Chain A
Amino acid sequence: MASTSFLDLSRFQFATTAAFHMTFPALSVGLAIFLVICYACYCKTDNPIYLQMFRFWRKIFAVGFALGIVAGIVLTFELGLNWGGYSRAVGPVLGPIICLEALTAFFLEAGFIGILLYGEGRVSRKVTLVAACLVALGALLSTAWILAANSWMQTPTGYTEINGQFQPTSWYHVIFNPAFVWRFPHQVLAVLISAAWFIAAIGAYYLLKNRAAEFARKTMSIGLLGASLLLPIQLYVGDSTASYVSAVYQPAKVTAAEGNFANGNTGWNLIVIPNQSKQKDDYTLSIPHAGSVFVFHNFSGTTPVPGLSLFPKSMQPPVWPTFYGFKVMIFAAWGMFSVAFIGLVMRLRRRMFTERWFLRLVLWTMPVGVFATIAGWVVSESGRQPWLVNGKLLVSNSPSSLSTGELIATLVGFWVVYLVLFGAWVRHVVREVRRGPEELPTTSADTPPASPPRPSTQLAPVLVPLGSE
């Protein structure tokens, strides 16, 4: 058993590096799909506005994607670096899944991203479109595999334990474990919504600045339309995740997310100040009867929400992150849903693009989707405590034997590096947005105005390299 402070450091390091990584897929998976939409529209309609959108978003996508990759490499290594006990125990089950992720998703993305980013002019439009589709497919596959791996840690099935190691008995059950089935769609919707909101907000920015009007209207429409279609589905899927997965397999997680210690509260807590050592809430503010409605779908509002006192103290997840992570996610969901709904109504009344307060609202809520996604992960991962593999492997039995000094040094290192890079990334996005989409080409849609002085071979047969050989 490792000491608590040591464990906390290691957990904190994993949590922050994972949250940093998550920020980028949360945008780039959706952006990859958005790029496909733009380029497909361009191929179909020949309308240069879609090419303009494609090129603009591609620049934002490229740098975020690179950050996602390098931050992801850190995570795979951290599993072995910091969690040696865990790596040894779950390697035979989770190793092959992440291997599959590398083989099917990472190589696919890496193979075609070059063509997507730099291929214009070297390959035909069709090849560019195919490359864009494959990059998006890779991103989705990546999400699927990582969710399979993480969901197995939440609801492990299809294995036996031999010598302190989990050995797979049925790959089908390992991959399609009960949590995966709901969490995967929930995650895909989450990243799509996050990106859609981000895109809509940038569109709103240009409308506010009266720049690139047509580009801005198209961008904002696609973003908000996407969000308003996906959010209702997400509300349903999220609720099902809570009811059919968490409540069944990890009752302590939902209980912590509701924030009660004692049994008997039928209300829905808005604010709690939990005091875990005394096993009570120092303060609660709740909406009467609503808890019963939300958790049990009991519309008479009389079923009390269970409290954490049902579980021994050592088996309780920490309430702070689980409760507030959950609240952030829920409020973000409802908030975005309301805004998208208002947008829809205004769109039908043809006022959406001109109401400045609405545009400002969308602009300033730009990162809400990403916050919700990270908050959701905080719920899943904190709510799983004290287990690493639910019911089977304790976190306290899993770390490597490292020195505290080492951990602190690298933790500081990661923070410094990540803050610098995050700052640089934000600056890059802000500058690109300020600079705006390039002017629409006037003569031929295929000759980029400011590209290097090379002949355009867009229409040349596939794969004839430029001006060479």
Chain B
Amino acid sequence: MVFFWMVVVLLALLAYVILDGYDIGIGTLTLFERDGGTRRDMLDVVGNVWDGNESWLILLAMGLWAGFPDAYATALPALYLPLCLMLFALIFRGFAIEMALHRPGFDRIWGRLFGLGSLVAAFAQGVVFGGLVSGITVVNHQFAGGTWDFLGHGYPLLTGCATVLLYTWAGAAQLQAKLAGDARRRASRQVRLLTGPVVLASALSAGLLPLASNARLRLDGVDRWLPFGYGLLIAVGAFYTAWRWAGRSPKQVSFFAAVAVQIGGLLALICLYFPVLVPPSVTIYSAAAGRNTLVFLTVMIGVIGPGTVGYGIYAHWVFRSAPAVKPVAETPPAAPDRAALSPTN
């Protein structure tokens, strides 16, 4: 049961990284988009999905708290500053996008803030990731290190940049599936352009991990190295696919390839760390809540989970041809060129 709940938490993590990853990435891309009309279309792509995507972050956090209280209680204080930075960025981002969509005339300022918030959120999440995998000092079920311990020798800064690149790349891949015309061509070019740096940053992060981490990374036994190898293969293959299919049809291929990269990477990481949850010492077994809690969680996710996923898909389906209709009574000043930019499917 402990194992089952770990899978649920990891799935929530994966869902979060895939979904909010692309919308944070699109946010970052708006910083580099000069054309007002296109920027507005990009905001629309994110507008009606961001809160749903962020719900996965809550499920991830609460799933971790409920199932593995020791992990929640040690990892969060250890990563205090980057997590607070992430929260600040997410606050700004969530508010700014609603303002940009509902306040015509101000969408420039709020749009910029949205982009900036996205960039910082991605970076902070990367730092959190890097700090976590490098290891955390835990004494007697509590974090016992210092404020800046999470920085180590700077490895988290690298993973921070890598995450920004990865999200941005996934965002571009999503945009080229959602937009049309010139905007789409530009997004495809961005996918091509970014693939190199993303591969480089991921490879560096992976290569330096054994040096940065104070946990024992294990690849002994076929049940570890085989899936690890698959994970790497998937990631490499998917990188190539995303690059190759950028700008071609079917246009969703690049985005799904980006998703495959994330799945492959996570799989490889799990093989290295399992069953450690908060490196080096807290494992899923030592951190797990009691049996009653896990049974309750399992039944709950079994009963409610499918429905949740079901209407999530329904909501995405209603809006599959983004950009959405503008909220009524708000014709943005940049209206004239919109017709040319609307999606064609």
State the A residues within 8 Å of B (CB): 55, 58-59, 62-63, 66-67, 69-74, 76-77, 79-82, 84-85, 87-93, 95-96, 98-104, 106-115, 117-123, 162, 164-165, 167-169, 171, 400-403, 405-406, 409-410, 413-414, 417, 421, 424-425, 428, 431, 438, 448-452, 454, 463, 465-466, 468-469
- Residues 76-117 of chain B, each 1 if its beta carbon lies under 8 Å from chain A, else 0: 110011011001101111110111001100000000000000
Q: Is the CB of B103 within 8 A of A92?
A: no
Closest to B301 in A: A103
Q: Is B63 part of the contact surface with A, judged by Cβ < 8 Å? A: yes
Q: Is B222 part of the contact surface with A, judged by Cβ < 8 Å? A: no
Of the listed stretches B137-145, B184-192, B207-215, B236-244, chain A binds B137-145
Question: Distance in Å from the Cβ of A326 to the closest Cβ of chain B?
Answer: 31
Query: Complex formed: what's the CA distance from A255 to B186 in Å?
Result: 67
Of the listed stretches B29-37, B193-201, B328-336, chain A binds B328-336
Residues on B with C-beta less than 8 A from A90 are: 69
The A contact surface, by secondary structure, is helix
Q: Is the CB of B289 within 8 A of A91?
A: yes
Closest to A96 in B: B66
- Which of B55, B84, B296, B300 sits near A107, CB closer than 8 Å? B55
A-B contact count (CB 8 A): 272
- Contact flag A98-B76 (CB < 8 Å), given A70-B90, A92-B293: no
Please tell me the size bucket of the interface on B. Answer: 35 or more
Residues on B with C-beta less than 8 A from A454 are: 325
Residues on A with C-beta less than 8 A from B80 are: 81, 400, 402, 406, 410
Q: Is the CB of A428 within 8 A of B290?
A: no
Residues on B with C-beta less than 8 A from A80 are: 61, 65, 72-73, 75-77
Q: Is the CB of B308 within 8 A of A107?
A: yes
Question: Distance in Å from the Cβ of A235 to the closest Cβ of chain B?
Answer: 35
Q: Is the CB of A110 within 8 A of B51?
A: yes
Query: Complex formed: what's the CA distance from A115 to B317 in Å?
Result: 11
Q: Is the CB of A84 within 8 A of B142?
A: yes
Not counting A85-B142, A88-B72, A114-B324, a sample of 14 additional A-B residue pairs whose C-beta atoms are within 8 angstroms of each other reads A67-B94, A69-B54, A73-B91, A80-B65, A80-B73, A92-B66, A95-B69, A99-B65, A106-B55, A122-B324, A400-B143, A465-B318, A466-B325, A469-B321
Q: Is the CB of A81 within 8 A of B52?
A: no
Q: Is B315 part of the contact surface with A, judged by Cβ < 8 Å? A: yes
Residues on A with C-beta less than 8 A from B327 are: 58-59, 62, 117-118
Query: Complex formed: what's the CA distance from A79 to B73 in Å?
Result: 9
- Contact flag A112-B54 (CB < 8 Å), given A71-B91, A91-B73, A406-B81: no
Closest to B49 in A: A114
Residues on A with C-beta less than 8 A from B331 are: 450-452
Q: Is the CB of B318 within 8 A of A119?
A: yes
- Contact flag A165-B69 (CB < 8 Å), given A115-B318, A121-B325: yes
Q: Is the CB of A111 within 8 A of B312?
A: yes
Closest to A113 in B: B51
Most buried by B among A92, A106, A400: A92
Closest to B94 in A: A70
- Contact flag A81-B83 (CB < 8 Å), given A88-B142, A92-B69: yes
